Structure 1
């Protein structure tokens, strides 16, 4: 396969992955709260990953519009998935944290997603999975996983 053909194949594969990622996001958001908008999922994941974060950091991390992040945070608060507390030193600052119930739901969702990936890679040998993980991390700009 030529380099041009390989790159074309990569692009087509990413298109299929994007469809699957949107489906996964919809399922994850629905598992978190049945009527939660899928676009709120990455906002929640950022809060859950960081643990205690300001809305401005979520905007920067996700490259989302500030008003969209605010809307999603409001929705997440209304669903009891995140708390917002004023900073003790600066009342203008709010800290966003995941609720214990949301953390428990996330653990179940993550386990389900992990099981799907395990099933997907079941026929791959361990070296292929490791090589794929390394190449994907390299491509996506993630820190080295070695």
Structure 2
């Protein structure tokens, strides 16, 4: 039984209780804002940043198992967003590379996300955007270091 008056607002939950929910909502909604799911975006983004790579290298960079990268890459290869390219030192080995089509689609999704973030933070000051970015980066770094 509550001791609060009947018309009193419920007390605001502690930030530590709200944060996991807000992070989950953010991840779901930012993925929905683009045409790529989170895993696809991260895989293509990694290849755009680092160039062609083998599955093991990609798995380590993304913090997932090699079989996960193989599974994620399969539909991207079929859609011609990725291609298999020979490894110069060993023609038997292959690496995954972003195709021009994949690079173009990635650029479109990045632009969509930039527009969304600009829209959502339009009323924020430059300092507020900088603080939010710094805290989110710190949060993500903490997750990365846990691997």
TM-score norm. by structure 1 comes to 0.75
CA contact (8 A) 2:81 2:102 kept: yes
Cα deviation for residue 10 of structure 1 reads: 4.4
How does 1:1-146 map onto structure 2 within 5 Å?
A: 8-28=14-34, 31=35, 39-141=39-141
SS at match of 2:91: coil
Q: What number of residue pairs does the alignment pair up?
A: 130
- Greater radius of gyration (CA): 2
Tell me: CA distance 1:138–1:67, structure 2 relative to 1, closer, same or farther (3 Å).
closer
CA contact (8 A) 1:81 1:99 kept: yes
Higher normalized contact order (CA 8 Å, seq sep 6+, divided by chain length): 2
Aligned match of 1:4: none
SS at match of 1:122: coil
CA contact (8 A) 2:44 2:106 kept: no
Structure 1: distance between partners of 2:32 and 2:125: 30
Structure 2 unaligned blocks of 5 or more: 1-13, 143-147
Runs of 4 or more consecutive aligned structure 1 residues displaced over 6 Å after TM superposition: none
Structure 2: distance between partners of 1:61 and 1:93: 19
TM-score norm. by structure 2 comes to 0.74
CA RMSD of aligned residues (A): 2.4
Cα deviation for residue 26 of structure 1 reads: 4.6
Tell me: CA distance 1:129–1:87, structure 2 relative to 1, closer, same or farther (3 Å).
same
